[in-house]
Chains A and B, each alone.
Chain A
Amino acid sequence: MILNLLTNLSYYIPEIVSIVTMCALLFLEASYKASEKSRTMVFVASLIGLVVVLFSLISNMSLEPVSLFASAVVVDKFSTLTKILMTLGTLGVVYLSYKSKDIYTGLKSEFLIMAMGVLVGGMLLSSANNLLTVYLGIETLSILSYVMSSFKRHESSSTEAGMKYALYGGISAGIMLFGMSHIYGVLGTIQFSEMVPLLKELTGANLAVMLISFVLFFVGVGYKIACFPFHMWSPDVYQGSPLPVTTFFALVPKFAGLAVLVRISFVFFSNEGALQIGWIGLIQVVAALTMTVGNVTAIGQDSLKRLLAFSSIGHVGMMLLGVVAVSESTTRIILFYSIAYLFMTLVVFYVVSTISDKYGTDSHSVIKGLIYRHPLMAIVMSIALFSLAGLPPFSGFVAKFNMLSAVIESKYYALAFVAAINSVISLYYYMRIIKMMIVEQPETNEKIETFNFINQALITVYAIPVLFLGIFWEKIMLISDGAKIFIVP
C-alpha cells in the first residue's frame, strides 16, 4: 500500500512542487519585512517554482496514462497538457502582477501565493476522476479566487466583485453538490469508472433523475467557466479585480473548468442514448446562448476590462462547441483553442494593463491613437484582437476553423451558422478597439515610456505564437491530438 502510494506520488510531482512552492513562498513572505527586496525574492522564487512545475509537466507528457490514489485522479496526456497551459498562464500573470500598479504593493506576494493555490486547485480539477475530487478541485479553485477578486479592498467595486463571486460561487457549488448527492443516491458510487457501467443500465425514473442531476452538476462547472446563464458574475469580477487577477481568471479557472467538462462528457456521454441526447442538447443550447449573449453584450461596453470579460464569455461559448461534438477530435480542438486563446489573452491583457496603469482608467478613450504613442504595443494588440475575432492568418482563425469543423462534422449545421454569425458580431467590437488604436488620432502626443525592454520582449514573445500558430499549426495540432482522455477501465 505504502509502496503503491510512493510510486503514485512520482506521477504527482508537478502538484507536489506547486504545493511546496506555495508553502515556501508563504514562509519567505512571512519571515522578511515587507520591502522591495523581499517582494523580488518571492517573485523570483515563484518563477523558479513554476518553471520546475512546467518542466516536470513536460516530462510527464511522455508517461503512459494512469489512475492514482485509488482512482481519485487520473494523469493522462489531456490533463497534463491542460496543466501545462494553466502553468503557462500563471507564469504570464506572475510577471504582470510584479510590474502592475493595480495590485497594492503590500499584496503582491500574497497574490503569488494564492495564484499557486489556485493552480493546484486547477490541476486537481483537470485530472479529477471521481465526484469528490471534482468538488474538492472546484472549491480549492474558488475559495482563493474569492479573496483574489477583492484584492483592491479599499475600492467598493473590488469588494463588490469579491462578494458577488463568493455568493454566486457558494450557491452554485451547493447546487452542484446537491446534484452529486443524487448521482450518488442513484448509483451508489462516486468513482467515474464504476459509474459508467451502471449508467448504461439505467431506465425510467432513475434515468430522468440522473439527467436532472447532471444538469445540476453542470451548474457548478458552468459557473466556473462563466457560461450562460451563470455568467453574470464575470463582468463585475473582471472589472472589479486588479488586472493581473482578471487575466488570471480569464485563463486558469476557465481551462480547469473546461477540462473537467470535457472529461465528464467523454466518460459519461460518449455512448449513444437518452443521456447523451440530453447532455448534448443542453450544451448546444448553452453554447449558442453563451456566445450570443457574450458577444452582443460586449458591443456596448466602454470599460476595456468589461469588454474583455464579455468577449471571454463569447469564447467560452465557442469552446463549448467542441464539447458538443463528443468525437475523437474534441480534445484536440479544445486544447488547440485553449493554446491559441492563452496567448491572445496574455497579449491583450498585457497591453490593457500597461495602459490602464499609466492613465488610471481602462475606458476606451485611453487607447486612442496608441499607434502614435507606442507602435509596437498597438501592432501586437491588433494582431491579438484580429486573432480573437478569428481572422486568418492568425491562430484564432485556425482555432475557430477547427471548432466549426467539429460541429459540422457532427452535422449540427444550425449551430455552425450561429457560431459564424457570432464571429461577425465579435469582429465588430474588436475592430472598434483596433480602429481607436490605429485610425483615430491620440488625445495627447505623449509617448508611453513606462514600457521597458523586458515588457516589449515579453509581448513580442506572446505574440509570436499568435502569428505562428495561424500558419504552421500542424505540430501543435498533432500534440493536442495525442492528448487523449484516459478512461479508467
Chain B
Amino acid sequence: MSGLLNWILWLPVIGMIAILFVPKDKKDLIRTFGVVTTSITFLLTLVLYAKFNTSIGGMQPEFLIKVPWIEQFNIFYSLGVDGISLPMVVLTGLLFLICTVSSWSVDKQVKSYYVLLLMLQSSVFGVFFALDFFLFYVYWEVMLLPMFFLIGIWGGENREYAAIKFFLYTFFGSIIMLVGIIALYYATGKGVDSFNILALQGGHFTKEVVTLFGTEFSFEKLFFWAMFLGFAIKVPVFPFHTWLPHAHVQAPTAVSVILAGVLLKMGTYGFLRIAFPIFPMASVEYSTVIAVLGCISVLYGAFCAMAQSDVKKLVAYSSVSHMGFVMMGMAAMTVQGMNGAVLQMFNHGTSTAMMFLMIGVIYERSHHRWIVKPDGSKGYGGLYSHMPKYSIIFIIGMFASLGLPGLSGFISEALIFLGIFNRFTTITVFAVLGLLLGAAYLLWMFKRMFFGEASAEVKSYPDMSIREVGYMIPLCVAVIVFGIYPSPILNVMKASVAQLLDLLGKFS
C-alpha cells in the first residue's frame, strides 16, 4: 500500500500523457480519457480514506514515501498524508471528477483543456502530499501554469487581465515564501532535515535573530509574516483578496469550481501544515491579527456580495466571506475552532462547488450571469416554476452555503463559533453578523432569480439534463450527509488537529 500516494499523484499525469497521444478531433475519446482518469483517481483517494488509521495523529507511517531527489542539498521526494490533508485529498479527487464530467460541454480545444486540467490535479495532490519544503514549493508554483492557461484561454471576456492578475498575485506571495523557505534551510544548518517540513515543526526558531537594514528582527516573526503573505494571498484574506473576484468571474465553470473548492484551501492548509507548526510562537502571538483579518473578510466579503449584480461575482465574494470563517476558526486555536476550520474547508469546497456548477448550468442556457442587467432589467426571474430540478438542487446548495441547520455549512460554522467565542468574544459578535448577511444576500439573490414572472427567454431554457443532475448528486449527498453526520470527516482529522493544538498549546 505504500505506493498509493504515488499512484494518486501520478495517475493524472499518466492520463495526461495518454490524452496527448489522442488525435485532436476525437473529442469524445479525450473527454472519456479525462473522466476515466479522474474516476480512478477518486476511487484511489477513497481507498486511501478506507485504509486511514484514525488513531494516529501524525503522518500515516503506512503511506510515507521518501526518496532522495537532490542529495547534495538534502532535498527529498517525500510524501505523506495525515488527518488534515486527507479530507482535502478526497475533496480534490471528488471535485476533479465532477469537473471533468461537467466540462463535457467545453468544445474549444478540448485536448489542451483536459491536459491542463489533469496537470492541475496532479499538482494540487502534490501540494497536499508534499512533506519536503522544496517539493511543496515546486508543486505550489507548478499549479499556477495550468491555472493561468485555463483562465486565460477558456475564460470570459476579460480573461487575460484576470489570468495575469491571478498569476502575479499568487507568484508574489509564493516568492516571498521561497525566501522564507531558504532562510529556514540555513537556519537549520543545511542538515538532512533542512527541507523536511515535519522536522522543521515544533518551534525551533524562537530565539534566532535576523538583521535587516541594520535593525534586529526575530527570525520567527519575520518569516512567519513571509509565510503568512504567501498563504494569505492564496486563501484569500482581506486585504489580499482583490484577485479573486476577477479570477472567478472570468474562469470557466470547472476552473471556478476547482479554484474555490480546492485551491483556496491550499492557503489555509498552508497555515495548518507550515506557518502554525513551524512558527508556533509567532502564530500564537499574532492569532488576534489573523482572527481580526478573518472577521473583516467575513463581513467585507458579505457586504461586497450583497452589492453584486453578477451572480458569479456574488458567489466569489461569498467565498471570501466563508474562508474568513476558516481563518477565524484556526486563529481560535481551540479544539472546536480548529476542527471546525478543517471541516469548513471541506464543506465550503462542496457547497461552493455546487453554487458555481449551478451558475455554470444556467450560464450555458442564458449566456449571461446578471441578476440585474446593467440596463436595470431583470436577468432571470421565475426560474423556480420553469426549472424545478434546477431549483431544488440550487436550494440545497444555497442553504448549505448560508449555514442552514441540517446541511453541512451549519456544523462547521457552529464549531468555529463555539471554538472562538471564549477567546475573541468581540470579534465573534461581529462575525456572527456575517452569517446574517450571508443569509441576506443569498436569499435576496434567490428571490430575484427564482421568483416572479418568467420572461419568454427564461421559459425557453430546458431543465437540467441527466448528465448535469448526475454530477450534482454526489455533491448534494455530501452536503446533506455531512450536515447530519459529520463524524466521517471529524474522526479522520481529530488526532491530527489535537497534535497540532498540543504544539501550539506549549507556546500560548
Contacts and interface: CB of A to CB of B under 8 A. Distances in A.
Q: Is B a genuine binding partner of A? A: yes
Contacts of A414: 212-213
A284 interface: no
A478 interface: yes
B442 to A, nearest CB: 34
Contact of B179 (A391, A408, A435, A440): A408
B179 A404 contact: yes
A439 B160 contact: yes
Interface string A408-439: 11010110110011011001100110010011
Given A401-B178, A439-B163, A427 B70 contact: no
B186 interface: yes
Nearest to B155: A439
Contact of A435 (B160, B213, B222): B160
A474 B72 CA distance: 7
A481 B182 CA distance: 19
A427 B182 contact: no
Contact of B153 (A405, A413, A428, A438): A438
B175 A423 contact: yes
A420 B175 contact: yes
B179 A439 contact: no
A393 B186 CA distance: 22
A438 B212 CA distance: 41
A116 B175 CA distance: 40
Contact of A417 (B137, B160, B167, B179): B179
B463 to A, nearest CB: 35
A392 B152 contact: no
Interface stretch (B140-148, B337-345, B397-405, B410-418): B140-148
A405 B70 contact: no
B183 A413 contact: yes
B152 A409 contact: no
Contacts, number: 84
B210 A404 contact: no
Interface in A440-489: 440, 473-474, 477-478, 481
A478 B164 CA distance: 36
Nearest to A432: B164
A417 B164 CA distance: 22
Interface in B148-186: 148-149, 152-153, 159-160, 163-164, 167-168, 171-172, 175-176, 178-179, 182-183, 185-186
A424 B172 contact: yes
Interface in A54-101: none
A413 B210 contact: yes
A440 B152 CA distance: 9
Nearest to B214: A414
A435 B175 contact: no
A269 B480 CA distance: 69
Contacts of A416: 179, 182
A68 to B, nearest CB: 32
B178 A431 contact: no
A438 B171 CA distance: 20
A386 interface: yes
Given A405-B182, A413-B212, A432-B164, A427 B137 contact: no
A397 interface: yes
Contacts of A397: 138, 141
A408 B182 contact: yes
Interface string B18-30: 0000000000000
A420 B72 CA distance: 24
Given A404-B182, A413-B210, A392 B176 contact: no
Contacts of A481: 72
B375 interface: no
B211 interface: yes
B327 to A, nearest CB: 24
B145 A391 contact: yes
A401 B182 contact: yes
Interface string B186-200: 100000000000000
B457 interface: no
Contact of B144 (A391, A424, A473, A478): A391
Nearest to A423: B175
A439 B141 CA distance: 20
B171 to A, nearest CB: 6
A96 to B, nearest CB: 28
Given A392-B137, A477-B72, A435 B163 contact: yes
B165 to A, nearest CB: 10
B107 interface: no
A427 B171 contact: yes
A489 B210 CA distance: 37
Given A424-B172, A435-B164, A477-B72, A404 B186 contact: no
Interface string B344-372: 00000000000000000000000000000
Contacts of B160: 435, 439-440
B185 A405 contact: yes
Contacts of A473: 70
Contact of B178 (A386, A404, A439, A440): A404
19 contacts: A391-B141, A391-B144, A392-B138, A397-B138, A401-B182, A405-B182, A408-B179, A408-B186, A414-B212, A417-B179, A420-B176, A420-B179, A421-B172, A428-B164, A435-B152, A438-B153, A439-B153, A439-B160, A440-B160
Interface of A: 386, 391-393, 397, 401, 404-405, 408-409, 411, 413-414, 416-417, 420-421, 423-424, 427-428, 431-432, 435, 438-440, 473-474, 477-478, 481
Given A392-B141, A411-B210, 6 more contacts: A391-B142, A404-B182, A409-B186, A432-B164, A474-B70, A477-B72
Which 7 A-B pairs give the minimum distances between C-beta atoms? Answer: A392-B138, A439-B152, A420-B175, A424-B172, A408-B182, A474-B70, A392-B141
